[in-house]
Chain A
Amino acid sequence: MGKVLFMSGNDACVEGAIAAGCRFFAGYPITPANEITERMSRRMFEVNGVFIQMEDEIASICAVIGASWAGLKAMTATSGPGFSLMQEGIGYAIATETPCVIVNVQRIGPSTGSIFSQQGDVMQARWGSHGGCYENIVLSPYSIQEMFSLTIESFNLSEEFRVPVILLSEAAIGHLRERLVIPEKINIVNRRRPTVSIKDFKPFKALENEAPPMAFFGDGYRVYYTGHLHTVEGFPVLSLEKYPLAEEVLKRISSKIRLNIHRITMLDARYINDAKIIIVSYGSSARAALRAVNEARKNGIKAGYLRLITLWPFNYQKIRELCSYADVVIVAEVNNGQILYEVQRALPSKNVIPLLKLADTHTPMEVLAKIREVV
Chain B
Amino acid sequence: MERFEVRIVGVGGQGIRIAGIILATAAVIDGLFATHWPSYGVEARGGPSISDIVTSKEEIDYPRVSAADVLVALNQEMLTKYLNSLKPNGLLILDSNLTMVDSKYKNITIKRAPLINTAKRIGEYSIVNMIMLGVLVNSTRIVSVESMIKSIREATGLDKNIEAFKLGLKL
Contact = CB atoms under 8 A, between A and B. Distances in A.
B86 to A, nearest CB: 16
Interface in A96-120: 115
Contact of A175 (B33, B37, B42, B62): B37
A291 B60 CA distance: 9
Contacts of B70: none
Contacts of B66: 363-365
Interface in B1-43: 21, 24-25, 28, 33-38, 42
A177 B33 CA distance: 11
A240 interface: no
Contacts of B33: 178-179
A270 to B, nearest CB: 10
A179 B34 contact: yes
A291 B42 CA distance: 30
A225 B64 CA distance: 47
Interface in A338-375: 363-365
A9 B30 CA distance: 21
Contacts of A175: 37-38
Interface string A283-302: 00001101100100000000
A269 interface: no
A176 interface: yes
Contacts of A363: 62, 64, 66
Contacts of A176: 35-37, 63
Interface string A165-207: 0000000100111110000000000000000000000000000
B61 interface: yes
Nearest to B26: A6
Contacts of B21: 177
B37 A179 contact: no
A291 B62 contact: yes
Q: How large is the interface on A (under 10, 10 to 19, 20 to 34, 35 or more residues)?
A: 10 to 19
A89 to B, nearest CB: 28
Contacts of B34: 6, 178-179
A259 to B, nearest CB: 36
B144 to A, nearest CB: 15
A115 B40 CA distance: 10
Nearest to A363: B66
A294 B59 CA distance: 13
B138 to A, nearest CB: 22
Contacts of B64: 363
B62 A290 contact: yes
Interface in B51-67: 60-64, 66
A83 B25 CA distance: 32
Interface string A1-20: 00010100000000000000
Contacts of B38: 175
B24 A177 contact: yes
Nearest to B36: A177
A287 B37 CA distance: 13
Interface string A212-249: 00000000000000000000000000000000000000
Contacts of A172: 37
Interface of B: 21, 24-25, 28, 33-38, 42, 60-64, 66
